[in-house]
Structure 1
Amino acid sequence: MSHRFRFERPAYAELVIAVVVVWGVCDGLSTLLAAEFAGAHLEANPFIRSLLSMPALAFAVQLGGAVAAGAIALAGERFIRTVPGWRVWFAVLIGGGIGVTGLNLLVAFAVV
């Protein structure tokens, strides 16, 4: 009996949700963690750096930005699907967000 592994491509909405979760939740929380342990002065984004004195607001802004980008991506699905390589672009966005989250965690735990 032969079993074949079959990879199903994620649906468009799943890719958008992944981008929102990675950039909104994971990056937001890891940024707060890095700021708490290593200091807000290490944050590269000057706007987020200015908000890090109010962690809940900083997280809300990051999450809100990711949700807004996700909403725009969902609204423009019909157009985005016509762009060659759109799945690769989503993979790069998700991978980049995972990389940024990992870097934030390295900064946070390097000083512990």
Structure 2
Amino acid sequence: MESRSPWAEREVDYAELVVGVVIAWGVFDGVSTLVAAALVGVEFESNPLVRALLPTPTLALGVKLAAAVLAGVLALAGERFIRTVPGWRCFFLGLIALGAGVTGLNLGVALAAV
């Protein structure tokens, strides 16, 4: 008898994808941006809004988290519509992958400075 993983047949839920986007872009990107800025310097941040907030790290992280949470709330509010768009799962998975890539880039910058 073959043992199957519980993930093999399970489809990722919409809310889980939204939470993944919020975590990738709010938490991981926010923290990795702070780490990179602390090791390399604030002046190397390409986003002018984030660069202006980085001298106060808690404010910078708070703004990034707030923006990600707001996007998540809007995505949850529009779930009925978004589920009608073809490829919506791929879009969310792409956003999560892009957030992971940005986090990796930030960490790469931080490690290069060490």
| Identical-residue share of aligned pairs (%) | 58
Distance between the aligned counterparts of 1:62 and 1:79, measured in 2?
26
Give the equivalent residue in structure 2 for 1:20.
22
Structure 1 residue 23 displacement after superposition = 0.3
Distance between the aligned counterparts of 1:60 and 1:4, measured in 2?
41
Does residue 1:70 correspond to 2:54, yes or no?
A: no
TM-score by length of 1: 0.96
Does residue 1:3 correspond to 2:3, yes or no?
A: yes
After superposition, give the CA deviation of every residue in 1:17-42 in whole Å (9 maximum; x if it has no partner).
00000100000000000000001111
Over the aligned positions, Cα root-mean-square deviation in angstroms equals 0.9
After superposition, give the CA deviation of every residue in 1:35-61 in whole Å (9 maximum; x if it has no partner).
000011111111001100110000000
After superposition, give the CA deviation of every residue in 1:81-100 in whole Å (9 maximum; x if it has no partner).
00000000001100000000
Q: How many residue pairs are counted as aligned between the two chains?
A: 112
> What runs of 5+ residues in structure 2 fail to find an aligned partner?
none
Give the equivalent residue in structure 2 for 1:93.
95
Does residue 1:107 correspond to 2:109, yes or no?
A: yes
Structure 1 residue 2 displacement after superposition = 2.7
> What runs of 5+ residues in structure 1 fail to find an aligned partner?
none
TM-score by length of 2: 0.94
Distance between the aligned counterparts of 1:37 and 1:2, measured in 2?
50
Structure 1 residue 7 displacement after superposition = 3.6
